[in-house]
Amino acid sequence: MHDRDGAAEALQGVLDLPAQKRNVSLTGRLEKVGRLLTTPAWRDDSEAQQLAERISVWLAETSARPLS
């Protein structure tokens, strides 16, 4: 809905989850948000790109362990 700050606030709790609380459903949703943040509408927004980087790190950390 083009509300970067609202999205960042809503994702804060998910991005702070410990690895054992992460699941496939959350991973898929964050992958979608990460892809959205790479579209031309957000590419030049530095805060959106910081959020995309946090999502990327979260996904990398999550994929480094078996999902339950």
- pLDDT tens string 28-47: 999 999 999 999 999 999 99
Q: Where are the domains of the chain?
A: 23-68
Query: Is it the case that residue 68 has pLDDT exceeding 80?
Result: no
- pLDDT tens string 2-22: 889 998 999 999 999 988 888
Greater pLDDT, 23 or 64: 23
Please give the full DSSP string across 9-68, using - where no structure is assigned: HHHHHHHT--GGG--HHHHHHHHHHHHHTTSHHHHT-HHHHHHHHHHHHHHHHHHTS---
Give pTM, 2 decimals.
0.84
